[in-house]
Amino acid sequence: MKIADNKKQFYILLVTTLSSFLTPFMGSAVNVGLPAIAKELSMNALSIGWVATSFILAAAITLIPLGRLADIYGRKRIFTYGALIFTVASSFCIVADSECLLIAARTLQGIGGAMIFSTGTAMLISAYPVGERGKILGINVTAVYIGLTVGPFIGGLLTQYLGWRYIFLFTTLLGVIIVYFTMSRIEEDASANGEGFDWAGSLLYAAALFSIMYGFAQLPSSKAVFLIGIGVICLAAFIFHQLKSPYPLVDIRMFMGNKVFTFSNLAALINYCATFVVTFLLSLYLQNIKLLTPAHAGIILIAAPAMQALISPFAGKLSDRFEPQIIASIGMTITVVGLVPLIFLNNGTSTHYVLTCLVLLGVGFGLFSSPNVNATMSSVEKKFFGIASATLATMRLLGQMFSMGITMVVFAVILGNHPISQANHNLFLQSNQLIFSILSIICCGGIFASLARGKMHDNNNNH
């Protein structure tokens, strides 16, 4: 029986670790391939923005509803469907011959991705006893960092020597392995907790996020104002509905009276909003303005996630001994120091300058991330760990979505229908300047949100 349990645990660890590697790897690899994709499919600045945004928007809309469905109908089932959808969508990306087909396939990938990462961590926690969870979750988080770190490098090599479609071929093959082991080696977990599913809340949530994000992309037209207005109304209706619902998607009450939880989530939202688009923009800058090869650009872009991977475990341990608000706030401050110099990028900026900024951003994010997660999870009782984890994941995706949203607005206003190229370098650099200025200001606000959470270690006595 013990051997059977060990095998079951091993296969759950295998598929969840591979899937934890897959999504960040694909995201960071695709960023390096974007200039080649834009050239082959004749895409302008806004279209290329949607290649990245469609995945995040689809994942952000579906993450919480799919997590609830997994609790009701079984996590393995949702995880398996997610891996299948992700793999099929990746294969569609390989053969995409137009921007519409590629963006549609990326949207489908986002839904599959949400099904995977709304269930993976819960499957792991269910399979392992309390004493082993820290070590196992550490392996899982390491897989994320490895994906982020090798993504730009492998993505650059594949794009340069074989073509950008091979990035999606790689993710398809990895997806097939995940599907095989999930279907053949993992048993369904106990499901059906007897709770209902909030369909009305899910629709309001989806309508709010889609309207706001699509409205951003339509700025500065009057249609954009209408869409954003509809989105804000849907968001207000969603919050009101959640307070009344017997089975809410998001437990709004968790934010009431829990200062540490509320401000930790707000800090996460701001941090991801301020930093997510950096790799996207620098990939375009290095290849279109500095005229570096995809492989060379990929090597430079490794700097931030590599520093993040080195610093994060150390920062996590520090946050057990000292106040997370202090460590996370120092991290956010270093992030601002890394962002501000990027405002001044131009044709003559050296790659060493870019590299220094990326190292600072990696250190800043590494110091912020682990202590912030520690503060968030330590501020709630154990029975709320699942909801708290899903809420934090949603803040991450919303932050990423708004980061791309700000970029799309600036691209729409400054670049319009122009492609990002050497010929339009002044327009692109002007866009970069404005985007990095906005992100730097937002990140400064994040320092105050991080400090405002108050002391966490006092809270530990309550939980």
**Of 152, 184, 216, which one is at a domain's C-terminal end?**
184
What pLDDT is stored for residue 142 in this prediction? Answer: 80
Are residues 232 and 314 both part of a single domain?
Answer: no
Are residues 283 and 382 both part of a single domain?
Answer: yes
Say how far apart CA 176 and CA 184 lie, in whole Å. 12
440 belongs to a structural domain: yes
Say how far apart CA 219 and CA 212 lie, in whole Å. 11
Are residues 3 and 65 both part of a single domain?
Answer: yes
Domain carrying residue 106? 1-184
What pLDDT is stored for residue 2 in this prediction? Answer: 52
355 belongs to a structural domain: yes
**Of 184, 212, 237, which one is at a domain's C-terminal end?**
184
First to last CA, the chain: 35
Are residues 296 and 356 both part of a single domain?
Answer: yes
CA atoms within 13 A on the CB side of 112: 26
Are residues 172 and 272 both part of a single domain?
Answer: no
Are residues 231 and 280 both part of a single domain?
Answer: no
Are residues 326 and 413 both part of a single domain?
Answer: yes
Positive or negative torsion for Cα 93, 96, 99, 103: negative
Are residues 321 and 434 both part of a single domain?
Answer: yes
The radius of gyration of the chain's CA atoms, rounded to the nearest angstrom, is: 21
Residue 98 burial (10 A CB sphere; 0-12, 13-18, 19+):
exposed
Q: In this structure, what DSSP letter does residue 164 have? A: T
Indicate the helix (H) or strand (E) that contains 405. Answer: helix 385-410
What pLDDT is stored for residue 101 in this prediction? Answer: 96
Asked if the bond preceding 294 is cis, omega within 30° of 0, the reply is no
Are residues 442 and 403 both part of a single domain?
Answer: yes
**Of 231, 246, 261, which one is at a domain's C-terminal end?**
246
Are residues 258 and 242 both part of a single domain?
Answer: no
167 belongs to a structural domain: yes
Are residues 240 and 286 both part of a single domain?
Answer: no
- What's the CATH code of the domain at 264? 1.20.1250.20
Position 261, amino acid: F
The torsion defined by the Cα of 259, 262, 264 and 265, in degrees rounded to 10, comes to 180
Residue 373 burial (10 A CB sphere; 0-12, 13-18, 19+):
buried
192 belongs to a structural domain: no
What pLDDT is stored for residue 386 in this prediction? Answer: 65
**pLDDT digit of tens for each residue in the chain (463 aa)?**
355 567 888 888 899 899 989 988 998 899 899 999 999 999 888 888 899 889 988 998 888 888 888 877 788 888 999 999 999 999 999 999 999 999 999 999 999 998 988 788 778 777 777 677 667 777 877 888 888 889 999 999 999 999 999 999 999 999 999 999 999 888 776 554 567 788 999 999 999 988 988 887 777 778 888 999 999 999 999 999 988 888 888 778 777 778 888 888 899 999 999 999 999 999 999 998 899 999 999 999 999 999 988 888 788 777 777 777 788 899 999 999 999 999 999 999 999 999 999 999 999 998 888 788 878 777 777 666 667 777 788 888 889 888 988 898 888 888 877 777 777 788 999 999 999 999 999 999 989 888 887 665 554 444 4
Domain total of the chain = 3
Phi, psi dihedrals of residue 251, rounded to the nearest 5°: -80, 90
189 belongs to a structural domain: no
What pLDDT is stored for residue 161 in this prediction? Answer: 94
CB 78 within 8 A of CB 66: yes
CB atoms within 10 A of CB 416: 12
Are residues 354 and 395 both part of a single domain?
Answer: yes
